[in-house]
């Protein structure tokens, strides 16, 4: 009997540990940045007959995708743009970095000279180019501008060999995770009966098109780029204009990302920790009369961000307090 009681106690405490592990893992909020491709003077692809262009469609779809993520407490969503605004690629990455994003989802519409070509593609960014650049930098053969890398250029200068190994590991892990997320996204798109551009793409996710490299420049964040179809194909173009089609397609993208997160959330959480030393930071010494809101506005970040970075429970700040503001 005594043995049984002890055994019971053991089981109970063990299940508490499991519960704690499970519940903390599940309670982690995953931060997603959604990127509506193009915008402002950059129209992207267009179809004159259908009177529609890419920048309009990507914004409409990104907003729908945002709604799906917002309805899910597991995610916190950020957008690179919410209006018809021109953004450089580096601006998009900066927004994702600033919000400490775990995931970056970019929405685009494709085009080609062949009007019969249609279907959806999902791309990931190969770390090869960025690996080469970092290697050249380490060999003192090139100067890397942080804008070109989309992250951490300034910090790298002072970093040790150890840090550079860590960075290569980070780039490779992000690539592996991005492939998993892209595969889940593709699976969801197929499951929901949307046409893929080229069925062979499914089998070889390693193949990344050049244009994918151009528009996807956050090598330290798990990212996918969804080409939602061909605007140059009249049939697909018409569908892409429909709100109901956009909703269904974005729901399947959301479900794909969610499937990935459900399975590999712990990897995303680990990547946060690896990324941290490489993320650009800035500190500010609080002056008399400063409010948290005013400081947030001064550095163009959210109050929530500052509270998180500084582990603040309340919004009260004190003169001479050192705050991380970026
Ligand atoms: Zn595009």
pLDDT higher than 90, residue 251: yes
Task: Compute the chain's Rg from CA coordinates.
Answer: 22
In the chain, the DSSP E strands lie at 30-36, 46-47, 52-53, 75-79, 103-110, 121-123, 222-230, 283-285, 322-324
How far away, in angstroms, is 45 Cα from ligand 1 center?
Answer: 7
How far away, in angstroms, is 232 Cα from ligand 1 center?
Answer: 13
How far away, in angstroms, is 226 Cα from ligand 1 center?
Answer: 9
Contact in structure between 307 and 292 (CB atoms under 8 Å): yes
Q: Which two tokens stand for residue 298?
A: 């001064």
CA distance 145 to 147: 5
Mean pLDDT for 86-97 is: 87
How far away, in angstroms, is 187 Cα from ligand 1 center?
Answer: 22
Of 233 and 152, more confident? 233
**Nearest of 288, 292, 285 to residue 317 by alpha carbon:** 292
pLDDT tens, position by position, 98-152: 888 999 999 999 999 999 999 998 888 877 777 777 777 667 655 555 455 545 4
Domains of the chain, CATH where assigned: 6-278 (3.40.630.40), 283-324 (3.10.350.10)
pLDDT interval class at 23 (50, 70, 90)? very low
Q: What is the pLDDT of residue 164?
A: 73
pLDDT tens, position by position, 317-326: 999 999 998 8
Burial tier of 125 (Cβ tally within 10 Å: 0-12, 13-18, 19+): buried
Q: What is the pLDDT of residue 284?
A: 93
How far away, in angstroms, is 177 Cα from ligand 1 center?
Answer: 23
How far away, in angstroms, is 110 Cα from ligand 1 center?
Answer: 6
pLDDT higher than 80, residue 200: no
pLDDT interval class at 281 (50, 70, 90)? confident
Q: Which residues contact 54 (CB under 8 A, 6 or more apart)?
A: 37, 38, 43, 44, 45, 46, 108, 109, 111, 231
How far away, in angstroms, is 122 Cα from ligand 1 center?
Answer: 12
Q: What is the pLDDT of residue 156?
A: 56
Give the number of residues written for the chain: 326
- pTM for the whole structure: 0.78
How far away, in angstroms, is 108 Cα from ligand 1 center?
Answer: 4
């Amino acid at each position: 009997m005594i043995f049984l009681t002890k055994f019971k106690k053991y089981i109970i405490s063990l299940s508490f540990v499991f519960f704690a592990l499970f519940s903390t893992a599940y309670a982690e909020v995953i931060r997603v940045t959604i990127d509506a491709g193009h915008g402002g003077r950059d129209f992207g692809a267009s179809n004159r007959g259908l009177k529609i262009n890419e920048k309009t469609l990507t914004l409409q779809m990104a907003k729908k995708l945002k709604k799906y993520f917002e309805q899910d407490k597991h995610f916190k969503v950020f957008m690179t743009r919410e209006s018809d605004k021109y953004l450089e690629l580096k601006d998009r990455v900066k927004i994702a970095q600033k919000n400490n994003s775990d995931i970056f989802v970019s929405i685009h519409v494709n085009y080609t000279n062949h009007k019969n070509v249609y279907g959806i593609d999902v791309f990931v960014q190969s770390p090869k180019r960025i690996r080469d650049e970092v290697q050249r930098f380490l060999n003192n053969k090139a100067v890397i501008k942080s804008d070109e890398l989309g992250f951490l250029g300034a910090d790298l200068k002072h970093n040790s060999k150890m840090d550079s190994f860590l960075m290569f590991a980070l780039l490779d892990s992000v690539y592996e995770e991005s492939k998993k997320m892209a595969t889940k996204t593709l699976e969801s798109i197929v499951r929901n009966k949307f046409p893929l551009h080229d069925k062979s793409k499914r089998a070889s996710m390693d193949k990344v098109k050049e244009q994918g490299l151009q528009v996807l420049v956050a090598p330290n964040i798990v990212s996918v780029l969804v080409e939602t179809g061909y605007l140059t194909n009249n049939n697909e173009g018409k569908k892409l204009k429909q709100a109901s089609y956009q909703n269904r397609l974005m729901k399947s993208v959301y479900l794909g990302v969610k499937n990935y997160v459900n399975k590999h959330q712990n990897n995303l959480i680990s990547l946060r920790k690896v990324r941290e030393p490489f993320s650009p930071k800035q500190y500010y010494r609080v002056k008399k009369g400063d409010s948290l809101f005013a400081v947030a506005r001064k550095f163009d970040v959210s109050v929530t961000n500052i509270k998180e970075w500084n582990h603040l429970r309340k919004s009260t700040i004190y003169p001479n307090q050192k705050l991380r503001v970026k």
